[in-house]
Amino acid sequence: MKEVVLHIYDVTNSGSDKANNTILQINRFFKDGIGLGGIFHSAVQVYGDEEWSFGFCEHGSGVFSCPPRKNHLYTYRESMVLGETNLSCAKVNQILRELSREWPGSSYGLLSRNCNHFCDTFCDRLGTPKLPAWVNRFANAGDTALEVAENTAIRFRQAKTEIISASKAAYSFISGIVSNTPATPENLSDEETEVSLCQGSCFKNLISISSKPSTSNSEQPEDSNNHIPQQQQQEHTEKNQPSS
């Protein structure tokens, strides 16, 4: 049985003292203060005086090693024993060779494939518990949020496409009914849709014209109504005059 040790660093390789100090403050507050997590680099040590981790490079494997707690790119924070492995040194070296092929440096991803993910995979193959959740919680939360956002955007685009298609089909179908032509959303071509829309517009114009009262018709009843009372009044007057 061989002890498996995890070494943890604060990520202070931004090249800016201000940014590095900000990260240190974030880690002190979220990890040391409330135990939530932070921005960390991790490496695994087993068999020998080397720790193993993963990072970005354009060519070749991203798996690398350095003396324990001596990675000069970061600020060492703490170490913890994850457990023990019953694998031999030769088997561990075989696993490391396999991981070197499986983890090229160009595949590095800050949220979904970083050093902490590599250490989780390494520990899993060693048969020991994985990293504590707080070590990679910020990256996991960011990756989950990104995935949710991408899925939401995809579903929104799909829904938008379906709504537009349904609207076009419904509009074409209604236009076919207005023009008194048998039309269905499936068999209407673009040209037929344009004709249907034109016919529908003409039909609406005809309806609006026919609904307006005619000038000649409206004046005639008014004249006849005015004429009748005058005639009746004249006859009434003549009857009431005394005969000579």
pLDDT tens-digit readout, 193-224 = 454 455 455 445 544 554 555 444 444 444 44
Residue 161: pLDDT band (50, 70, 90) is confident
Q: Is 6 left (phi over 0), alpha (psi -120 to 50) or beta?
A: beta
Residue 242 tokens read as 């005394």
User: Which of 16-30, 107-121, 148-162, 227-241 is least confident?
Assistant: 227-241
Q: By the 8 A CB rule, do 69 and 8 touch?
A: no
Other CB atoms closer than 10 Å to residue 69's CB: what's the count? 16
pLDDT (mean) for 148-162: 58
Give the mean pLDDT of the chain.
Answer: 77
Running DSSP on this structure, what letter comes out for residue 241?
Answer: S
Comparison of pLDDT for 58 and 211, the residue scoring more: 58
Question: In 127-214, which ranges are continuous DSSP H helix?
Answer: 137-178, 190-210
Q: How many angstroms separate the Cα of 239 from the Cα of each of 31, 228, 234?
A: 117, 17, 9
Per-residue pLDDT at 139: 81
Strand partners for 6: 44, 80
- DSSP at 83: E
Q: Is the dihedral of CA 20, 37, 4, 117 positive or negative?
A: negative
